[in-house]
Structure 1
Amino acid sequence: MNARSDVTFRSGAQVCRGWLYLPDTPEPAPIIVMAHGLGAVKEMRLDAFAERFRDAGYACLVFDYRHFGASDGQPRQLLSIRRQLDDWAAAIDHARTIPGVDTERVILWGTSFGGGHVMSAGARDGNVAAVIAQCPFTSGIASTLALDPTSTVKVITRAVADLAGSVVGREPVTVGLVGAPGEAALMTAPDAASGYLPLVPEGYPFVNGVAARVGLTIPLHRPGRALQRLTCPVLVCVCDEDSVAPARPTVRYARRGPTTRLVRYPEGHFDIYVGEAFEQVVADQVDFLDVVVPLPA
């Protein structure tokens, strides 16, 4: 019988919480470690992807980053690239201790901001079986240039104030995750709010905001460069109409990856989480896994 259970593991001094999906297979299955994008939580459609992977015969460990969702961490809504990469390392380590799965074949799956994280995490670990990066954030410069100029100024202003306040222990100054053009938010493309917020389940206490200081680190972050260091099979799923993580730099990075397979979709950044686009991308990902990390005969 297929099942999902709640799990915990430690990352630094805090606890990360997530879900473990186990397939109904006679032999230990490869395990996919999964996490979301910018400020998002696992309830925002990661269960839909994990269920498809489980039905295809793969185990899945889905988790929330520290400071978000069900995981610990104070202050809340603190988005630290360094901390999130440490969470990936902790999740990978935990996956390798789970009874009943093939701990020698750990796969990384990330989407959006998490799609960049899996590139960096996979290169840093050096021993994962495969990496899947979906509509990935690969270039901080490109994503910053995609932001409305007025929003950029507002985000940087608040980021400086937040960083200064953090030195003396003040509560974070926040910016929105998504907003209208001109608002102080990290994603202000016309399809951002209408694509991102509907992914939140009805009644979930979601917070559309993060500590603004991350606005100073995003422009300098270029996880796409890690593709050149990955030696395991990599699948990069690019949305050609992506208004948040522009396709052009991602395609350029993917073509430099020695083990990278690039698949392109005529979709926007948020389209592949739902509907026909979701069905296509998850089917392509399962097909990729069938080839590069096949199940036991």
Structure 2
Amino acid sequence: MNNQFRREDVDFYSSGTRCSAWLYLPDGDKKCPVIVMAHGLGGVREMRLDAYAERFAAAGYACFLFDYRNFGASDGNKRQWINVKQQLADWNCAIEFIKNDDRVDGSKILLFGSSFSGGHVITLSSKRKDILAAISQCPYTNALASMGTLSPVSSLKAFPLVIADLLSCLSGYHPVMLKLLAVRGKAAIMAVPVPDYKGCLELIPENSSFVNKAPARTLLEFVKYSPSRYTKDIESPIYYAVCLKDTLAPAKATVKCGKRSKKATIKEYNCGHFDIYLGDYFEKAIADYIDFFDNNIK
């Protein structure tokens, strides 16, 4: 199936804050299943999540792709603030909003998340009973798994900034910022090998709203958040896309978590964390994802 589709700008509200979304609608009068989507840690929707949405829409799915509050085209007066509780609230508001849009089939809600939002998809799938199926691509699973990938030098350089940022909370929101992404040895939330750093840069189009920084306290969000504890509670089908050369979301931890889900499909791709967004790995993955959804919407 290779349908034509259109994309509309849509706003919804989460805790009173306007969040910006793109709604992809296949042409025709048929109400389609809808895939709710959001990006990973500090990312924005135009960093190749739109490429996934376009392919899903061409295959006959509506897609609702949004920016979290404080990021991208969404409002929020605490820019670049990454907060797990708020991001999950944004997801829940997005789902409730779009399932009530009479242009889609609100009885068939699907989820797609990647990296940090892959972790959110795990959490949401365990807690909501209205999720028909979900895809969790190279997901963040827990702090222990991700801590094993950290550069000790980068961590030491980041630690004083975390302390300074926490102290800044005493006087309101005056954050001490830390780079989201840098090469190993630099102070960053994600300090990665050079090939991964270059791979991430390839995801950023010209004139993107992406900002390569976040409050240093973001590092503490990993300590508090473990989607892996919820994998055993997921009742609906879930697809775990595992990148075998992942330096941010270790493959071994993802496979271990995935095996706890009752209706898990676990597929391994011989690539790095950012490789699956582009080229041959993207083509293979998106074909697998469409097959998975096709087999689980009946």
Pairwise TM-score range, normalised by the shorter structure: over 0.9
Looking at structure 2, the residues matched to 7 and 74 of structure 1 have their Cα atoms a distance apart, in angstroms, of 20
* Conservation of the 8 A alpha-carbon contact between 2:146 and 2:250: yes
SS in 2 for 1:217: helix
SS in 2 for 1:70: coil
Q: Which residue does 1:177 correspond to in 2? A: 180
Identify unmatched segments of 5+ residues in structure 2. none
Bigger mean CA deviation after superposition, 83-92 or 205-214: 205-214
* Conservation of the 8 A alpha-carbon contact between 1:23 and 1:55: yes
Displacement after TM superposition at 1:198 (Å): 1.7
Q: Which residue does 1:286 correspond to in 2? A: 290
Looking at structure 2, the residues matched to 65 and 184 of structure 1 have their Cα atoms a distance apart, in angstroms, of 25
1:248-292, Cα deviation, whole Å (9 max, x unpaired): 111101011111110111111000100000000000000001101
User: Between Structure 1 and Structure 2, how many residues are aligned?
Assistant: 294
2:82 to 79, 84, 88: 79
Normalised by the length of structure 2, the TM-score is: 0.95
Q: Which residue does 2:211 correspond to in 1? A: 207
2:234 to 225, 230, 235: 230
Displacement after TM superposition at 1:25 (Å): 4.1
* Conservation of the 8 A alpha-carbon contact between 2:72 and 2:209: no
Normalised by the length of structure 1, the TM-score is: 0.96
Looking at structure 2, the residues matched to 45 and 177 of structure 1 have their Cα atoms a distance apart, in angstroms, of 18
- Listed as ranges, the matches of 1:56-205 within 5 Å are 56-190=59-193, 191-205=195-209
SS in 1 for 2:34: strand
Identify unmatched segments of 5+ residues in structure 1. none
Runs of 4+ in 1 over 6 A off after TM superposition: none
SS in 1 for 2:202: helix
* Conservation of the 8 A alpha-carbon contact between 2:34 and 2:110: yes
SS in 1 for 2:136: strand
1:214-235, Cα deviation, whole Å (9 max, x unpaired): 1112133211222211111100
Displacement after TM superposition at 1:97 (Å): 1.3
Displacement after TM superposition at 1:154 (Å): 2.5
Tell me the percent identity. 43
1:111-136, Cα deviation, whole Å (9 max, x unpaired): 01110011112222222111110111
Q: Which residue does 1:265 correspond to in 2? A: 269
Looking at structure 2, the residues matched to 134 and 9 of structure 1 have their Cα atoms a distance apart, in angstroms, of 25
1:243 to 244, 247, 261: 247
